[in-house]
Amino acid sequence: MRTIQAETVTAAVAEMCIEANIELGADMRAALAAAAEKEESPLGKEILGTLQENLKIAKEDRIAICQDTGMTVVFASVGQDVHIEGGALTDAINEGVRRGYRDGYLRKSVVRDPLDRVNTGDNTPAIIHYDIVPGDRLTLTVAPKGAGSENMSKSIMLKPADGVEGVKAAVLQAVKEAGPNACPPMVVGVGIGGNFEKSAELSKKALTRPLNEKAASEATQELEAEILTMINKTGIGPAGLGGRITALAVNVETYPTHIAQLPVAVNICCHVNRHSTRTL
């Protein structure tokens, strides 16, 4: 049994909240640079250049990349031989979010109830997904998610007979309906399988996979490439103003499912696809 102090978790989450909001990962920066090279529309090229300049300023001045610093999503992979001492793990994570958004001067965007709309004042509670795994390590991925692109997400319960073509059509339709509202160029997370809620979780988790990291199977890799090509043929383009680059990547995650269903979830993220991971 290995002991991790709750304060260690809190400090790590606080740092990751700030880090994720002010500096995109190398994979996203590389994808934007490559997109600027490929984009043929003069306006699209200009927009992509502006986005890159914004990233540079945010990193140098240590300010948020986007004014919408999101609702904090945390994926916690908890080793079964880990013991948290000094407080509950959930409380430690939320305290980290509270501290990070305070110390990083990040916008607090969470309301305590979806109907009375009173702001909690500290961006808590976070959305936390736990996974119990072998070992004595705790891996945390913090992924702030803005509302603009989140609002464009879809959950579709297809029939098994719809097959792969049905999946591709559903994802493409979701992107078309999102249009400029998801602040393209976007990253599209797709969850296939499980059930209603599992597919949604998969689509969110898909967004945290580095863009230079391949999917688990060749079939999934081919599906990602096909959907990306279809999306970039829509002509939506950067900022929805036309062009070749509508999406930077499509990440697909799958899970076993029931014989009578084919759940598909599409979680769209704008070009500010933020996430930070640490193992304690």
Average pLDDT over residues 143-151: 95
Residue 247, strand partner residues = 186
197-243 pLDDT, tens digit each: 999 999 999 999 999 999 989 999 999 999 999 999 999 999 999 99
DSSP character string of 217-249: SHHHHHHHHHHHHHHHTS---GGGS--S-SEEE
pLDDT of residue 146: 94
Mean pLDDT, to the nearest integer, of 147-175?
Answer: 96
Q: 3-state DSSP: the chain helix, strand, coil percent, rounded to 5?
A: 45, 25, 30
Q: For residue 118, what pLDDT is reported?
A: 98
Q: What is the pLDDT of residue 199?
A: 98
Copy the structure tokens of residue 200: 């949604």
What pLDDT was estimated at residue 263? 98
Residue 10: strand, helix, or coil: helix
Cα–Cα distance, 135 to 51 (Å, whole number): 41
Give 40: exposed, middle or buried? Use CB within 10 Å, 0-12, 13-18, 19+: exposed
Average pLDDT rounded to a whole number, residues 13-28: 95
Interior angle at CA 27, CA 143 and CA 270, nearest 5: 50
Q: Where are the beta strands (DSSP E) in the chain?
A: 2-5, 71-79, 82-85, 127-133, 138-145, 154-158, 186-194, 247-257, 262-269, 276-279
| Side-chain-side CA neighbours of residue 104 (13 Å) | 31
Task: State residue 177's pLDDT score.
Answer: 96
Mean pLDDT of 68-92: 97
Query: How would you classify the pairing of strands 247-257 and 154-158?
Result: unpaired
At residue 149 the predicted structure's pLDDT band, cuts being 50, 70 and 90, is very high
Q: What pLDDT shows up at residue 176? A: 96
* Secondary structure class of 280 (helix, strand, coil): coil
Chain segment 238-273, per-residue pLDDT in tens: 999 999 999 999 999 999 999 999 999 999 999 999
Q: How confident is the model at residue 84 (pLDDT cuts 50, 70, 90)?
A: very high
| 177 phi/psi in degrees, rounded to 5 | -65, -35
Alpha-helical regions (H) of 79-146: 89-103
| pLDDT band (50, 70, 90) for residue 181 | very high
All residues at 6 or more sequence positions from 219 whose CB lies less than 8 Å from its CB, including other chains = none
